[in-house]
Structure 1
Amino acid sequence: MKAICLLGLLVVVAIGRLETANGAGACGKSTPEMEALKLAPCAMAAQDEKSDVPDNCCQQVKKLGQNPGCLCAVMLSDTAKSSGIKPEVAITIPKRCNLADRPVGYKCGCKFSSLTHC
């Protein structure tokens, strides 16, 4: 019985890896790290709530905001963390860009426990 359970677990893990390799991740065929790099124009705006948000930043945020799962994956990525962004400031960018269709109240998990109720 244990052997069957172990085999089942290995199959599930293998399928999960295949789906990720084939582009079924949060950001489709791209990785959250690659998507985070596209948000380079937002660097200052993600560190200082009083700084202006460049138009090219707003355009990238609008594109990324169409996939809230990818947006969260980007916010939680190592690239975003190492760039010095402040998540509590970064989440204000869609509003500062006056984006009408922004994911209001979308939660990115307990890693932002100061921002969400887990």
Structure 2
Amino acid sequence: MASSMTPLHFLCGVLVLTIITRSTEAYGFPKCGSVNPGMKVMRLASCALAAQDEFAFVSRRCCAQVKKLEKDPDCLCSLLLSNAAERYGIDPEIAMTIPKLCNIADRPVGYKCGDYKLP
């Protein structure tokens, strides 16, 4: 028995995918690939203290991870503003200063990330 997809089935499928995509972005899932945001945020675990306390030491490991993500500021921004980052106690305003503290020369200065700008 052959299965045929009607235009209505196709339209329903597209609608469901659109809703899922938009809702995941709205609820803080990053715009940087299909990897779970919690997993990507975990890559920034070495930055946890520096992203919570503006006077904390920023490790070389943290700087290396941020430098990798800095190449895609949309991704970094969505991670910093994600629900996953919030659950880990990351303060986006403080976290936005990490690239400057790491002396990342080619950081996108002035890049707008939600209500914050990269210094």
Write the mapping of 1:44-83 to structure 2, written as runs, cut at 5 A.
44-83=49-88
RMSD: 2.8
Q: Letter of the aligned partner of 2:43 in structure 1?
A: K
What amino acid sits opposite 2:70 in the alignment? G
- Aligned ranges 1:84-99 → 2 under 5 Å: 84-99=89-104
Pair member with larger Rg: 2
Structure 1 Cα separation of the partners of residues 19 and 111 of structure 2: 25
CA contact (8 A) 1:32 1:70 kept: no
After TM superposition, the structure 1 = structure 2 runs for residues 29-48 of structure 1, keeping only pairs within 5 Å, are 29-48=34-53
CA separation in 2, counterparts of 1:49 and 1:71? 18
Contact residue 46 and residue 89 of structure 1 kept, 8 A: yes
User: Deviation digits for residues 30-78 of structure 1, max 9, x if unmatched?
Assistant: 2332211100000111111111100000000000111111111101211
Structure 2 unaligned spans of 5+: 1-9, 25-29
Please give the TM-score of this superposition, normalised by the length of structure 2: 0.71
Divergent runs of 4+, >4 A? 7-10, 15-18
TM-aligned CA deviation for residue 15 of structure 1: 5.9
Mapped partners of 2:45, 2:93: distance in 1: 17
Instruction: Give the fraction of aligned pairs with identical amino acids, expressed as a percent.
Output: 51
Q: If the length of structure 1 is used for normalisation, what is the TM-score?
A: 0.71
Preserved CA contact (<8 Å) 1:37 1:79: no
